[in-house]
A and B are shown apart, each in its own frame.
Chain A
Amino acid sequence: MTAPGTFVARYGIWIFGAVLLLIMPHVFTSSFALNLMSQMGVLIIFSLAYNMLLGQGGMLSFGHAIYFGLAGYFTIHYLNFVYDDIAPYIPVSLFPLLGGCVGLFFGTLVGYVSTRRAGTTFAMISLGFGEMVTALTLILVAIFNGEDGIQTDRVVGPEPLGISYGPNIEVYYLIAVWVLVAAAAMYALTKTPFGRMSNAVRDNPERTEFIGYNSQRIRWLAFALSSFFAGLAGSLHAINFEHVGFEQVSALTSGLVLFMAYIGGVGHFAGPVIGAVLITFLNGTLTTYTEAWQLYLGVLFVAVIMFFPGGLAGLIIMHQPIWRIDTRLLAPLTVPYLLFIGALLVSLIGFIGLVELLIYKTSRLGAAHDLTIFGITMDPSGVVPWISFAIVMAVGVYAIRKAFPVAAGAWNTAIDQARARAAQ
């Protein structure tokens, strides 16, 4: 058998993930936190599925919510059918598999058309199908019930092992188990002939044709399998919320999963996981504080695309060659990095202040009461808050421009040292 060292290296991160999923509800016990974590789980699966296309296969889709949402609709209907004794009973725990098959079915169908071409053509076709299905959910009222969507009660049939899925904590653990299973399956897929060739088609589709492969078929297979996992996630979403509406198939959800994958980092398997957790967390918490959350998300996305195209995972991975050699080489990075993060925060405070003032002025024109930003109450009709935040932002941006070369230089020094040590 494998040596303990390689066992930890190979499975350590998975065991860590399983333990984390297990204990999280005991650390964060509020129902708000539980709901948030359930959503995170669903979106981790969805964004990993999405990255099978984008990061692994090089296909940029603007309509992947179709498979997520349609599986959700199917799940709700099926639960209602079971409730009405129309359809045979299936344990709720296995519904995600059913949802996966729905995703697989539609993914196979649409993928046959859309994966014939890669690049821009593929992206445009995905957008077209996304809009088409969104329109259908609003037109075919008998099936999708228009803007209201459809709902269900997930507590149906017998209760195997005493699990009724009444309490949210039981749904959380259902999602947690499926997160592990789906993530492990998708990771394993990257190691198969299909997975390797999917990377090859991403890098150089033409060459794959000259080593015996039909690149269109690889894209199609990647698309279908990715749709399976998207459907699996959609089914869990339906069970979690007991409701599915047109938003779940729309460009809103397609865009969200794109944001998650990109901000997390498409170049690394774990990137979308980071993105899903971060975006869901911000989405869940910040919406109670600000109306401009979507704007901040957009700014974050643009910033990542422009300055850190590897995403958050890319930022972590770029330090891997350093810590592989010696973790102590990371120590000199601390101060420059903290300076940079500090400068970033200062400019963010200025930016957020200005945005909030602007929203206040434009949306509640004439309101006389004071505005509270960052715990400071101010009179938005005066010029002082505007000037103050503008100065803070200017200082922050100036500091970023000074701190970034220092941080980058520190990284360069560390990586050079690591390379020099490796060469010895």
Chain B
Amino acid sequence: MNAALQLKDVHKSFGKTEIIRGVDLEIREGERHAVIGPNGAGKSTLYNLISGRFPVSSGAIRLRDQDITNRSAFEINRAGLCRSFQVTNLFHRMSVLDNVRCGALFSLGHKYAFWKFVSRQKDVAERADDILERIGLSGKRDWPAGMLSYADQRALELGVTIAGGGDVILLDEPTAGMSHSEIAQAVALIRRISTGKTLMIVEHDMGVVFDLADRISVLVYGEVIATGTPEEIRNSAQVKEAYLGTEAT
């Protein structure tokens, strides 16, 4: 089995506090891999290390056959890894359509071009139409992103994330703050957008995790204490203990 993403003995300290304490993790090509763990386990930090937001203190991160350790965020994105954010992170004064277009521009080769019009680029239009259709925001394409409802902003967050066509997708609590009916829709959406791609997802809602994930890793205090199928994780005494133990404190 090929690894799409591989972390080897990754450490991260902020000052004297070690947040990530030697994480080894392998995300296989084409799987949906969930990372769970109690609050403060370091899930978001782990994402920030993988996606290049923070440098690692030590260790190595590989995206397929490329070493992406401590590369800048845009280089990692260009290498095919895209991520969403836990707190919605959009271009709030721009339209929904322009948000998605911006997500697609670089990967379609338009980069920093100032000699051609965005609206005349067929590839951008097709990509944007497709994404808007998939995230269900076709009807609101001209709305400023800041005016959307929370659930719609979460959907747009996903749209901007996948617009670049990256095939390793990292989602950071995509259903946080949603109602039950919204969560069901979001899960269906995540399933659609991750088909044929590799998905890594951090999620608190266990229903979502066990519904979506092929494999699950449990992160506790900056260490991965178990990785396995949902069945294995559910029955793991170690996980139960760690989870309940930390929950209790």
Residues on A facing B (Cβ under 8 Å): 188-189, 191-197, 199-200, 202-204, 206-214, 217-218, 221, 225
Contact = CB atoms under 8 A, between A and B. Distances in A.
B91 A200 contact: yes
A209 B114 contact: no
A207 B90 contact: yes
Nearest to B91: A203
B151 interface: no
Nearest to A206: B89
Instruction: List the 4 shortest-distance A-B pairs measured between CB atoms, nearest first.
Output: A212-B106, A194-B114, A209-B73, A203-B91
B118 interface: yes
Contact of B114 (A192, A210, A212): A192
Nearest to A212: B106
Contacts of A212: 74, 77-78, 106-107, 164
14 contacts: A188-B117, A189-B114, A191-B117, A192-B117, A193-B114, A195-B114, A197-B102, A199-B91, A203-B92, A203-B93, A209-B74, A209-B77, A211-B105, A212-B164
B112 A196 contact: no
B14 interface: no
Contact of A192 (B72, B78, B116): B116
B43 interface: no
Contacts of A194: 112-114
Interface residues of B, number: 38
Nearest to A191: B117
B137 interface: no
B161 to A, nearest CB: 8
B102 A191 contact: no
A210 B91 contact: no
Contacts of A208: 74, 102
Contacts of B112: 193-194, 197, 217-218, 221
Nearest to B102: A200
A211 B114 contact: no
A197 B108 CA distance: 14
Contacts, number: 96
B224 interface: no
Contacts of A202: 93
The dominant DSSP class at the B interface is loop
Interface string B82-106: 1101000111111000100111011
B94 A191 contact: no
B235 interface: no
A221 B113 CA distance: 10
B91 A225 contact: no
B117 A210 contact: no
B89 A196 contact: no
Nearest to B111: A193
Nearest to A58: B93
Contact of A225 (B78, B106, B114, B117): B114
B76 to A, nearest CB: 9
A195 B114 CA distance: 7
Nearest to A199: B94
Most chain A CB within 10 A, of B73, B116, B117, B163, is at: B73
Nearest to A203: B91
A46 to B, nearest CB: 20
Contacts of A209: 52, 72-74, 77
Contact of B94 (A189, A203, A214): A203
A204 B74 contact: no
Interface in B39-86: 51-53, 72-74, 77-78, 82-83, 85
A211 B103 CA distance: 5
